[in-house]
Amino acid sequence: MFHAAKTMMELEPVIFHVDMDAFYAAIEVLDNPSYAGTCLLIGGNSSRGVVATASYEARKYGIHSAMPMVQALRLCPHAVVVKPRMARYSQVSSQVMDILRQFSSDLQQISIDEAFLDMTGTRRLFGIPRQAGKILKERVKKETGLTISVGIGASRFIAKMASDYDKPDGLCRVSQGKEIAFIDAVGLQKLWGVGKVTQSLLAKHHIQTTKELRSYTMDSLQSLFGKSMGQFLYLACRGIDPGIFSGEAKSHSISTETTFEHDVTSLSILEQTLLSMSHEVMFRALEEKQIGRTVGIKVRLPDFTTYTLQATPQGTIYSAEQIYHLAKQLLLQKWHDGTPIRLIGVGLYQLYEGSRPLQEELFEDPYQKKRKIEQVVLALQKQGKQVFKAKNLETPTPSEK
């Protein structure tokens, strides 16, 4: 009896969500300490540029990611704008991921600065979850100089909100059975997946708190908010993982996604986001020596309807631009001007070892040349040199198809 109970205890699911604090900004500060304490904005500074990351100082001015740069500079005119160095970020990212992998082999990387780590059954190795989280944070700090926030819960959903609850440099554990109390503490405004639009919808029905939300049945929520959203709300307010992060293949894919703080309807912002995500994915693939056969996108609408679309071109996917072009074509299949989007993601699928020998071409293949350039950029940036491909940072012109 006792033995069985103990085994059960050990198998209680323990999920870590690791979120690197203001990741791009933190790396810029690391590489250039004079930026410390300044309002730092990472992003393109052309007229159509958007903010990729804002330092915590800049966030105090109400600046958030995916905000047009022009607007951000209006809010904080003295902010320092730095162009993103994707290759450097992905290098640091893979360094952090390598550390995470030493804690558990079951790693699910969500984006360049976010990952889930299944720590179930690791108590004997690293101690109780909170202690393991502490060791993990110390290791990352010591080896990379960066701070991370760790959320611990019995599901990905809870872990994700827990990391956000105590940020930056946070460590928050929600033990099993305390989920509902935690959800109430987080509050409806900060409940993951509940944005401004959903909030105003909820307000219309006089739902102001998670507690009030729990008084509705699944059926009534679904009739009020639609099938996906209704189900999401029903589960979320009970602290049950609505399965937002499941279904993602653990291996053989490199993907990233961005949830917009405000639903986006502008093609130019979507294009910019796709472009920078395409670079992120490409550089991560280069870093991991992987080549993708398939490009996929994920689009989530405000009502939580989620589409995934994939395309497999004939040849090899060699460059970020190629990923971007394919991703944009896929987006335009589903997206019509003005449709609001809450989340967009780009991924490389069906990966194979990039170290597999590359066949040289007799005639020049334009994309292969670009991959070589990107490899050179990556190598130079690793040596600490500041190199940019000008085109990466420019907004694609509307005529470019």
**Of the candidates 211, 356, 369, 391, which one interacts with another protein according to CB under 8 A?**
356
How does DSSP classify residue 342? E
Q: Closest Cα to residue 97, out of 144, 52, 132?
A: 144
- How many residues at the interface with another protein, by CB under 8 A? 14
**Of the candidates 363, 397, 399, 401, which one interacts with another protein according to CB under 8 A?**
363
**Of the candidates 361, 383, 397, 401, which one interacts with another protein according to CB under 8 A?**
361
Residue bearing tokens 């690293």: 126
User: Is residue 122 within 8 Å of 134, Cβ to Cβ?
Assistant: no
Cβ proximity to another protein: between 355 and 383 the closer is 355
- The distance of closest approach from Cβ of residue 399 to another protein in the complex, given in angstroms and rounded to an integer, is 23
Piece in contact with another protein (CB under 8 A), picked from 140-148, 194-202, 302-310, 355-363: 355-363
Give the angle 309-310-312 at the CA atoms, nearest 5°: 160
**Of the candidates 1, 5, 8, 362, which one interacts with another protein according to CB under 8 A?**
362
Given the DSSP bridges, would you call strands 341-349 and 306-311 parallel, antiparallel or unpaired?
Answer: unpaired
User: Is residue 386 within 8 Å of 317, Cβ to Cβ?
Assistant: no
**Of the candidates 34, 355, 383, 399, which one interacts with another protein according to CB under 8 A?**
355
Cα dist. 183→161, 211, 325 in Å? 9, 9, 40
Cβ proximity to another protein: between 337 and 360 the closer is 360
Q: Closest Cα to residue 310, out of 257, 260, 251, 350?
A: 350
- Rounded to whole angstroms, the Cα distance separating 35 from 39 reads 8
Given the DSSP bridges, would you call strands 294-300 and 352-353 parallel, antiparallel or unpaired?
Answer: unpaired
Interacting residues of 401 by C-beta distance below 8 A, sequence separation 6+: none
Cβ proximity to another protein: between 106 and 365 the closer is 365
User: Taking CB under 8 A as the criterion, which residues in 292-331 touch another protein?
Assistant: 314-315
Cβ proximity to another protein: between 337 and 361 the closer is 361
- The distance of closest approach from Cβ of residue 326 to another protein in the complex, given in angstroms and rounded to an integer, is 13
User: Taking CB under 8 A as the criterion, which residues in 8-37 touch another protein?
Assistant: none
For the chain, how many residues are written? 401
- The distance of closest approach from Cβ of residue 357 to another protein in the complex, given in angstroms and rounded to an integer, is 4
- The distance of closest approach from Cβ of residue 141 to another protein in the complex, given in angstroms and rounded to an integer, is 35
- The order of strands in the sheet holding 40-43 is 51-54, 40-43, 80-82
Q: Closest Cα to residue 69, out of 86, 55, 57, 52?
A: 52
**Which active-site residues does the annotation give?**
114
Q: Closest Cα to residue 22, out of 159, 114, 86, 156?
A: 114
- Rounded to whole angstroms, the Cα distance separating 237 from 216 reads 10
Cβ proximity to another protein: between 305 and 352 the closer is 352
* Per CB under 8 A, 365 contacts another protein: yes
User: Taking CB under 8 A as the criterion, which residues in 333-352 touch another protein?
Assistant: 352
* Per CB under 8 A, 372 contacts another protein: no
Residue 297: beta bridge partners? 309, 346
Piece in contact with another protein (CB under 8 A), picked from 98-106, 122-130, 275-283, 362-370: 362-370
User: Taking CB under 8 A as the criterion, which residues in 212-241 touch another protein?
Assistant: none
Cβ proximity to another protein: between 218 and 358 the closer is 358
- The distance of closest approach from Cβ of residue 273 to another protein in the complex, given in angstroms and rounded to an integer, is 28
Cβ proximity to another protein: between 340 and 354 the closer is 354
- The distance of closest approach from Cβ of residue 238 to another protein in the complex, given in angstroms and rounded to an integer, is 47
**Of the candidates 359, 383, 397, 399, which one interacts with another protein according to CB under 8 A?**
359
181's enclosing H/E stretch is helix 179-186
- The distance of closest approach from Cβ of residue 354 to another protein in the complex, given in angstroms and rounded to an integer, is 8
Give the angle 51-46-320 at the CA atoms, nearest 5°: 70
- Rounded to whole angstroms, the Cα distance separating 211 from 266 reads 35
Piece in contact with another protein (CB under 8 A), picked from 154-162, 195-203, 212-220, 353-361: 353-361
- Rounded to whole angstroms, the Cα distance separating 312 from 246 reads 23
Cis peptide, bond prior to residue 398, ω within 30 of zero: no
- The distance of closest approach from Cβ of residue 315 to another protein in the complex, given in angstroms and rounded to an integer, is 7
* Per CB under 8 A, 360 contacts another protein: yes
What is the binding site for another protein (CB under 8 A)?
314-315, 352, 354-363, 365
